[in-house]
Amino acid sequence: MNLLGNIIWLVFGGLAIAVEYFIGGLVLCLTIIGIPFGLQAFKMGLLALFPFGQQTVVTEQGSGCLSTLMNILWFFVGGIWIALSHLFWGVLLCITIIGIPFGRQHFKLMSLAFTPFGRDIVRA
């Protein structure tokens, strides 16, 4: 079922979202300061490619204060806009019964967009 969900996800917008994350990650990696943020964009892009059957978990070995500081910077620089776009698409897709699984994936991406530092993507 995860394979079918991922294929439908890719065809109906998931590939476009992933490409946007990858392009954003490449742009962020052009500067040394932006590299950590670019790596997080790549992490979100990988989850946006195949969201069914994967989940995000908080890492136990997080870098503590640095991770919190980076999440705060991420939130104010661009994370809020990414999260709001996923919220919009998630609510829009949850209007129909068929769109509910895809809306839930947008909500999963939204939670990662708020705090990408200190989180890992694992198979569910």
Number of helices (H) and strands (E), helices first, in the chain? Answer: 6, 2
Residue 68's pLDDT is what? 85
- pLDDT tier for residue 7 given thresholds of 50, 70 and 90: very high
Where does the pLDDT of residue 1 fall: very low under 50, low under 70, confident under 90, or very high at 90 and above? Answer: confident
% of the chain with per-residue pLDDT over 90:
51
Q: What is the pLDDT of residue 62?
A: 58
Average pLDDT over the chain, rounded to whole? 89
Task: Provide the residue ranges of all domains of the chain, joining segments of one domain with +.
Answer: 2-123
Inform me whether the pLDDT recorded for 14 exceeds 90: no
What is the per-residue pLDDT for 22?
94
pTM of the model: 0.84
- Cα 12 from chain centroid (whole Å): 17
Largest CA distance in the chain: 45
Q: What pLDDT shows up at residue 13?
A: 85
Spatial contact of 44 and 5, defined as CB atoms under 8 Å apart: no
Q: What is the pLDDT of residues 29-86, one digit of tens each?
A: 999 999 999 999 999 999 999 999 999 888 877 567 888 888 899 898 888 988 998 9
Asked whether the beta carbons of 90 and 110 are under 8 A apart, the reply is yes
